[in-house]
Amino acid sequence: MVAEMSIKKKLDAARIKLGLRKDKERDWEYTNPPLVKYSGTGKPKLRILGSHDGYHCGCTAVIESLRKAAIQNGWQVAVYGEPFHALAVNGEGAMHDNGPNFHKKMRALKAAVEFGAPAFLVNTVWANNTSNYDGILRKLDRIITRDVLSQHELRASHDVLADFVIDASFFFGDTVHPKRNQNRHGVAVTDYYSKEMGKFVKFVNSFENYEYLDLAAGTWQETIDFLSSKRVLITGRHHAVYAACKARTPFVALEGNTHKIRGLIESSGLEIPVASSLSEAEELFPVIDKYERAFSDLFDWMAEQDGRRVIPSVRSAADRWT
């Protein structure tokens, strides 16, 4: 499946490894990934595709966590331009409603399966997708959803088993200590997904005058630190919820274009409401303090999770190479 690496791709890979440029992706990697057979010598190379790194800091945190876990689990992480032995696709928020990125990511997994390489779909939401890829899903070495609702839908609608681990972003950056809750003041607000407009928009109701948080404007750690001084966050952003959880900041969450926020709460088994409309969010905001204990339990539960589980280990692919 892989031709001899061009000089340009070799130079790109060398620069990335030296830290002279950021890793990148190109569309051809999804249709014709440069897979090679593992010889059994040295650490096998895993390529992680599906980066949304340029979107906002939460997506950057996801990729950094996936790479860290891959190294911890025995892989050598391949960069752009390098041949590799196994593929992990970061599904993230793209795997719903048969969207273009859903098909793009499934095509990459299909190519890996047909090559006979270990293939994993990780850190993924799953909602309202076609059954056309069910044969590929069943041949994947591992599927890891980031919430139990996605896990249940894969089983109920596709007869496919999956594991569950919370979103990989939680395992990047510093988590606020439980005792650091003093002197919090103010309210932060992000944008939210408008179903009527089909895109993320700013609040234009009673929340519009609070301090605005743009996930694309700062780093993940800066976002956590900012939220750690706030009394509450109002958001329709999945990764803003995760940053709030790392900052141990309660939130009023408005569900977006999938069940991803509600999926986190359902996964925890705690009774924390998620608003389905602006009016519900406005009603919830004045009474959010009554859920203080539930939020504390949510933050503790998330802090107990093992970040290494977001990527399967080399051992999970051993059968492919024996």
pLDDT digits (tens, 9 = 90+) for 188-228: 999 999 988 889 999 887 898 899 999 999 999 999 999 99
Same domain, 53 and 154: yes
Domain assignment present for residue 243? The answer is yes
Mean pLDDT taken over the chain: 92
Look up the pTM and report it. Answer: 0.92
Domain assignment present for residue 144? The answer is yes
pLDDT digits (tens, 9 = 90+) for 221-243: 999 999 999 999 999 999 999 99
CATH assignment of the domain containing 283: 3.40.50.2000
Q: What average pLDDT score do residues 132-157 get?
A: 98
Domain assignment present for residue 1? The answer is no
Same domain, 76 and 187: no
Residue 206 structural domain: 175-303
Confidence at residue 20, expressed as pLDDT on a 0 to 100 scale: 45
Same domain, 68 and 53: yes
Same domain, 149 and 22: yes
pLDDT digits (tens, 9 = 90+) for 269-314: 999 999 999 999 999 999 999 999 999 999 999 999 999 999 999 9
Same domain, 183 and 111: no
Long-range contacts of 306-310 (CB under 8 A, 24+ apart): 306/165, 307/65, 307/68, 307/69, 307/168, 307/170, 307/171, 308/69, 308/72, 308/73, 309/69, 309/144, 309/163, 309/165, 310/65, 310/66, 310/69, 310/122, 310/123, 310/144, 310/165, 310/168, 310/171
Residue 12 — pLDDT band, cuts 50, 70, 90?
Answer: low
Q: What average pLDDT score do residues 62-88 get?
A: 96
The torsion angles phi and psi of 89, rounded to 5 degrees, stand at -105, 120
